[in-house]
Amino acid sequence: MSAFFHKLTVVFGDRALRNRIIFLVAAIAVFRLLAAIPIPGVDHFRLAQFFADNQFLGLLNIFSGGGLSQLSIVMLGVGPYITASIVMQLGTIVFPSIKNMYTEEGESGRAKFVEWTRILAIPFSILQAVAILSLLESQEIIVFANAFGFAVSAIMVAAGSILLMWIGELITEFGIGNGVSLIIFAGIVSHLPARISQTLFAANASDIPAYLGFLAIALAVVYAVVKVSEAERSIPIAYARQVRGAAVSGGAATYLPIRLLQTGVVPIIFALSLLLVPQMALKALSAIGLSFATSWAAGYGVFAANHFAYGTVYFFLVVLFTYFYTQITFEPKRVADNLQKSGAFVPGVRPGAETEKYVGAVVNRITFPGAVFLGFVAVVPFIVQGLTGVTTIVVGGTALLIAIQVILDLVRKIDAQVSLREY
């Protein structure tokens, strides 16, 4: 407890760190204010009824922080930016030039990669705005006087998503933590009280055992996610002893920590985006009268309603993206090169290619249980729903997982800032 109060003293006693936290809180407040500003011409009664019958939009609403249920100017949230990030990450596999820019050109290459992602998010935001507004107009939830009114609303919604992307980048630069993840977290937290009250209000006496069981599972999930997120595999590292005249340097021993879950919340966001985008695109195409899209959208709706099939695909997508993102963010070759340049080596392993192979094998081994765990936790709500029949808690499980990961990442970033100032 004394250590906790000591950290609070350091956090609020240091002006720079205090300003970062104040900026983070102010940026989240601006986001919540924007989420409360609706676009004109909305029939709120039809909107509420439409959301009650559409689980897809309910899930999308979670990530917009309730903005979609209010049809606010930021109803898309950071979805277009996430979609653009997925496309750019896939581009590192297809196009060697993009991979070299991301991995070989250092900070300048990464800055250019982020800039391209921002530019790509603009057309995605426009397409998604047109798609969602066309869908809502076809359901008579929103009425436009003419094509000009539709275009103005689409531009407004697309600009709102770009504005959120910019706020997220500002949080990353001037605040603490990953701005985009924190915006998603703020949306989840702001929407959870309404979801909880709605669930409790709709509960019957016969549902109480199911809710208590889900509460126990949720607490177990929180504990397991925290433990697994903090787990790491330590690779011993030794430094060669160097003798220069009478001075002797090196010879120290340390370790290279490799986390069990290095990717954090990113695979969950990627998997959800990949599952949600086809359904949204098919609904938008069917709304404008394309017959093939109507039949495909109906088929995808049947697939989404099948908890076993949907949960299975969701599980494998989370595992796949965990491996994929780990390969992008953690490169054994770069680690081996950095160790060799600094005169360090893994005891019993030759420097260079052998070290790269050894580190890669360790990363692959520990990524597998981490990916399986992350995928299992992601589909636990589907399992609970299949066993209990309670449908109002499915989104809560995914939101809980994302919220825990973002909180842990934020705590680590604050601890790093505190440690930096203590030394």
Q: pLDDT per residue over 83-126, tens digit each?
A: 888 788 778 777 777 777 766 666 777 788 888 889 999 998 99
Mean pLDDT of 205-232: 76
Distances (CA, A) of 263 to 44, 224, 260, 324, 388: 39, 16, 9, 9, 31
Q: Is 264 within a domain?
A: yes
Tell me if 74 sits within 8 A of 67, measured CB to CB: yes
Q: pLDDT per residue over 356-371, tens digit each?
A: 888 888 888 888 888 8
**How far, in Å, CA of 210 to CA of 190, rounded?**
25
Sign of the dihedral defined by the CA atoms of residues 377, 382, 387, 391, in that order? positive
Q: Is 235 within a domain?
A: yes
Give the pLDDT of residue 155.
Answer: 92
Strands 253-259 and 344-345: unpaired
Q: Is 387 within a domain?
A: yes
Q: Pull the structure tokens for residue 348.
A: 């019993």
Instruction: Assess whether pLDDT exceeds 60 at residue 393.
Output: no
**How far, in Å, CA of 407 to CA of 412, rounded?**
9
Q: Is 243 within a domain?
A: yes
Calculate what percentage of the chain has a pLDDT beyond 90: 4
Strands 247-249 and 232-239: unpaired
**How far, in Å, CA of 22 to CA of 210, rounded?**
40
Instruction: Assess whether pLDDT exceeds 50 at residue 382.
Output: yes
Give the pLDDT of residue 247.
Answer: 47
Q: Pull the structure tokens for residue 109.
A: 């290459």
- Higher-pLDDT residue of 399, 118: 118
Distances (CA, A) of 110 to 11, 88, 270, 390: 30, 12, 20, 44
Instruction: Assess whether pLDDT exceeds 80 at residue 397.
Output: no
Instruction: Assess whether pLDDT exceeds 80 at residue 80.
Output: yes
Give the pLDDT of residue 26.
Answer: 92
Least confident of 130-134, 249-253, 322-326, 357-361: 249-253
In 3D space, the residue among 120, 114, 93, 108 whose CA is nearest the CA of residue 328 turns out to be 93
- Higher-pLDDT residue of 202, 29: 29
Backbone φ and ψ of 290, nearest 5°: -80, 120
Sign of the dihedral defined by the CA atoms of residues 84, 89, 95, 97, in that order? positive
Amino acid occupying residue 120: L
Instruction: Assess whether pLDDT exceeds 50 at residue 394.
Output: no
Q: Chain-wide mean pLDDT for the chain? A: 77
Tell me if 335 sits within 8 A of 354, measured CB to CB: no
Q: Is 5 within a domain?
A: no
In this structure, what CATH number is given to the domain that contains residue 372? 1.10.3370.10
Q: How many structural domains compose the chain?
A: 1
Instruction: Assess whether pLDDT exceeds 50 at residue 295.
Output: yes
Would you give the distance in Å from CA 371 to the centre of its chain? 15
Tell me if 263 sits within 8 A of 322, measured CB to CB: yes
Q: Is 4 within a domain?
A: no
Q: pLDDT per residue over 150-191, tens digit each?
A: 888 889 999 998 999 999 889 988 888 888 888 888 887 777
Q: Is 228 within a domain?
A: yes
Supply the range of the domain harboring residue 288. Answer: 12-422
- Higher-pLDDT residue of 317, 215: 317
Give the pLDDT of residue 389.
Answer: 60
Which pLDDT band holds residue 388 (cuts at 50, 70, 90)? low
Reported as half-sphere exposure (CB side, CA atoms, 13 A), residue 22 has a value of 8
What's the pTM? 0.74
Q: Is 1 within a domain?
A: no
Q: pLDDT per residue over 322-343, tens digit each?
A: 888 887 777 788 888 888 887 7
**How far, in Å, CA of 418 to CA of 411, rounded?**
10
